[in-house]
Amino acid sequence: MTSPHFSSGDLIADRRADYARMFAESGEFAEAHEVMEQALEQVPTWAAGWFRLAEYAEKSGRKEAATLALEKVVALDPTDIFGAGLKLAVLGAKDAPATPPSSYVERLFDDYADRFDTALVERLDYTVPQTLARLVRKHAGENAHFDLVSDIGCGTGLFGAEIRAHAGRLEGFDLSAGMLAKAQDKAVYDRLAQADLSLPAKISGLFADDAGQARADLVSAADVLMYLGDLAEVFPSAALLTKPGGLFAFSVEDGGEADAPLLRPSLRYAHPETFIRRRMAETGFDFVALEKSVIRRDAGQPVHGLLFLARRQG
């Protein structure tokens, strides 16, 4: 079956696309590419079809054909909900964008919401919520109590469940409505709302008290910053939420010794420690603690992460 984001609206084209997918699932990517081309002859303005064609071209070793197909996707869909611009950067056909398109991030997690917990926790050894909550307790105290915790990029609420016992009030914010629906099912949040962390101008009005006064004792961002690029807008958003003296706990994928974020083939960004420390200092956060750990597995390989705890300056 074809997903809602992938349907062409043409029965014949969709059927050929399904045949192409079956070839691809069998590892026959050249054949998948050929059948997908036939589908696109039926619907040449089908952006999702061109994106799938690019995938088959890349996996069959045809990098130039993949690049051309991705450029077609961007031309047909300037909002870039499929992240074609990111793929072009990974292929070396353009520079990596400072931030990914919000439409791509929203679509990615809406599609992923139903299987998110199972995929990450049970199959990919995902550890960030527990490790980040433990880092907070280590420095704030095992019996620490936060009057208000703001969980930004809360996803399905995995970190919320870990910190609930220490929060008087717990609020969660995410770009994906699908993720928020799953978080609602956990019944651990006092408030949930949809929000784009890359728009700090809107954060103040949505989250902060009268006169824009930030009020959270703890702000968390568990496994979300790797989807948000250079973070130029994210740290100001966190600063708007955090009380003077409040804590900001977050994780990133480890960018090693680089000087700037790296866009990986996974289409996630890795952030170097020195870069994160700069972002913290620029936005009024003092470093408190850092823990390095394997945060998940990807294609069978460990993904190394950095878990930070910072304190908002008075």
pLDDT at residue 125 in the model: 79
Whether residue 6 is contained in a domain is answered as no
CATH number, domain with residue 85: 1.25.40.10
Domain containing 247 equals 110-312
Structural tokens at position 109: 């997690």
SS3 content of the chain, % helix, strand, coil (to 5): 45, 20, 30
Pairing mode, strands 242-254 and 301-312: antiparallel
Structural tokens at position 277: 């420390």
Structural tokens at position 112: 């992923």
**Cβ(120)–Cβ(189) under 8 Å?**
no
Confidence of residue 146 (pLDDT cuts 50, 70, 90): very high
Q: Are residues 24 and 130 in the same domain?
A: no
CATH number, domain with residue 185: 3.40.50.150
Stated as kind and residue range, the H or E segment containing 310 is strand 301-312
pLDDT at residue 214 in the model: 64
**Cβ(173)–Cβ(150) under 8 Å?**
yes
| Confidence check: pLDDT of 134 > 60 | yes
**Cβ(109)–Cβ(175) under 8 Å?**
yes
Q: pLDDT tens digit string along 224-264?
A: 999 999 999 889 889 988 999 999 999 999 999 999 999 99
Q: pLDDT tens digit string along 147-166?
A: 999 999 999 999 999 999 99
pLDDT at residue 24 in the model: 95
Among the three residues 95, 125, 147, which one is the final residue of a domain in this structure? 95
Whether residue 101 is contained in a domain is answered as no
Structural tokens at position 38: 């036939």
Q: What does the mean pLDDT of the chain come to? A: 90
Query: Does the predicted TM-score (pTM) go above 0.75?
Result: yes
**What is the DSSP-derived secondary structure letter of residue 256?**
T
Q: Are residues 130 and 207 in the same domain?
A: yes
Of 43-57, 58-72, 91-105, least confident by mean pLDDT is 91-105
Looking at the 3D structure of the chain, how many domains does it have? 2
Confidence of residue 2 (pLDDT cuts 50, 70, 90): very low
| Confidence check: pLDDT of 112 > 80 | no
- Measure the CA angle with vertex 13, ends 10 and 14; round to 5°: 80
| Confidence check: pLDDT of 203 > 80 | no
pLDDT at residue 180 in the model: 95
| Confidence check: pLDDT of 212 > 50 | no
Q: pLDDT tens digit string along 39-63?
A: 999 999 999 999 999 999 999 999 9
| Confidence check: pLDDT of 205 > 60 | no
Q: Are residues 27 and 118 in the same domain?
A: no
pLDDT at residue 208 in the model: 47
| Confidence check: pLDDT of 200 > 50 | yes
Residue-level length of the chain: 314
